[in-house]
Structure 1
Amino acid sequence: MEKILVAGATGTTGKKIVALLKDSEQFTPVAMVRKKEQQKEFESQQVATVLADLTEDVSHTTQGIDRVIFAAGSGGKDVVNVDQEGAKKLIDAAKKERVKKFVMLSSMGADHPEAATELKEYLQAKHNADQYLDISGLTFTIVRPGALTNNEGLGKIKLEHKLNERGEIPRWDVARTLVKSLDTDVAKNQAFEILTGETKIEKAVEDFQVLS
């Protein structure tokens, strides 16, 4: 079983990622948490943890880790230090330990933040983190969903390099897409956008590799 570090494991999407990895036959989650009480909560569910804060040193977090999912965010409170610089620090830590793949949860609009009419600072931070990953030398996939909802996941999405439309997608379906993107040869060194659609997640992600 490969160990997957989940940054942002305590978030709404992060918890879903951890749950999916826990049920996986391939992967086992390692939840990155900031507080000891969060550590106890995960460990009571038999989920391994590592204590770290993205605004501080995270170089120890990738020791013994095979792959990384970055799903952390400051909720707009500290986008430079968490969403941007925190991501960069974790990319550096992943590079140092030669992790097999780094999957980044980004956002639709992060490819051209200058065009945004709202959330410009957030999208710029995500853009800078995505760019840093792109030139890091790590094998990666960048996933850019539309607006996240807490609706029940449908297991079906639409996926393209650029969708040229706005829309929503349940967090469960985003989590499933991120976990599927852990496979080394799936959407290798690619970024794509996702919304709710008609294609099963596994097929949409696998077929994207063929087209890209």
Structure 2
Amino acid sequence: MEKILIVGANGSTGKRIIEILNNSQSFEPVAMIRKKEQKPVFDDMDVESVLADLEQDDFSSALKGVDKVIFAAGSGGHTGPDKTTAVDEEGAIKIIDASLKAGVKKFVMLSAMGADEPSSHKELEHYLKAKAEADKYLRNSGLNYTIVRPGALTDDLGMGKVKLAEKVERGEISRDDVAFLLVMSLADPLAKNKTFEAIEGDEPIKSALIEISQG
């Protein structure tokens, strides 16, 4: 069973990822949390947690024994530029470096649609720039990676059907479906070293991932 560190485990999407992994026969989740007060949530789920902050510099204890990483942290588009840079760019880069040093086998990044053209979205420009820099750093890091860039996230019930491509029209996708996409991307052959956008669609997640893997 592979041990998966979820960065941003306490967020809305992170908690969904934890639930999926916790019911998996292949993966064991480890929740990375910023505050001790968050630990009981994961204790109740019988999920291991590690205390670490993206604004710190040492992640060796958080990555001990970890096989793969899902980065689902995000400051959100409404956070100021300084905090966004600290979490979405610098924090991501620190954990990418630490993952490389720790011998992590795959790094799955939750990015954002529009990260390839931040200036086209003025209200989110600082957020998308930070995401773009982190994505670029991951692609050049030498780690095996998958970068998922979803459209606008909703709390609707996931239908398990998506549209994936390097570029798709702007649209929405449920956090449930994004969580499943990220978890399924952990499989070694799927979406290896691929960056793609995702919105709700008509194709089952698994077959859509297989298709994008072969593209």
TM-score exceeds 0.5: yes
Gaps of 5+ in 1: none
How many percent identity over aligned positions? 54
Q: What corresponds to 1:49 in structure 2?
A: 49
Deviation string 1:111-144 (CA, Å, 9 cap, x unpaired) is 1213223200000000000000010000000000
Deviates more, 1:147-156 or 1:37-46: 37-46
Letter in 1 for 2:211: D
Q: What corresponds to 2:112 in structure 1?
A: 107
Following superposition, the deviation at residue 62 of structure 1 comes to 1.1
Q: What corresponds to 2:180 in structure 1?
A: 176
Q: What corresponds to 1:81 in structure 2?
A: 86
Segments ≥4 residues shifted beyond 6 Å: none
* 3-state SS of 2:9 partner: coil
* 3-state SS of 1:118 partner: helix
Deviates more, 1:22-31 or 1:73-82: 73-82
Following superposition, the deviation at residue 210 of structure 1 comes to 1.2
Aligned residues: 210
Q: What corresponds to 1:166 in structure 2?
A: 170
Letter in 2 for 1:65: V
Q: What corresponds to 1:155 in structure 2?
A: 160
Gaps of 5+ in 2: none
| Contact persistence 2:151–2:197 (CA under 8 A) | yes
TM-score relative to the length of structure 1:
0.97
| Contact persistence 2:162–2:198 (CA under 8 A) | yes
Q: What corresponds to 2:191 in structure 1?
A: 187
* 3-state SS of 2:42 partner: helix
Q: What corresponds to 2:71 in structure 1?
A: 70
Letter in 2 for 1:122: Y
Following superposition, the deviation at residue 35 of structure 1 comes to 0.9
Deviation string 1:44-81 (CA, Å, 9 cap, x unpaired) is 21100110010112422211100000000122421100
* 3-state SS of 1:103 partner: strand
Alpha-carbon distance in structure 2 between the residues aligned to 1:115 and 1:16: 30
Alpha-carbon distance in structure 2 between the residues aligned to 1:35 and 1:63: 19
Q: What corresponds to 2:10 in structure 1?
A: 10
Q: What corresponds to 2:214 in structure 1?
A: 210
Letter in 1 for 2:86: N
TM-score relative to the length of structure 2:
0.95
Letter in 1 for 2:154: T
Alpha-carbon distance in structure 2 between the residues aligned to 1:128 and 1:149: 25
Letter in 2 for 1:176: F
Asked if 1:117 corresponds to 2:122, the answer is: yes
* 3-state SS of 1:102 partner: strand
Q: What corresponds to 2:99 in structure 1?
A: 94
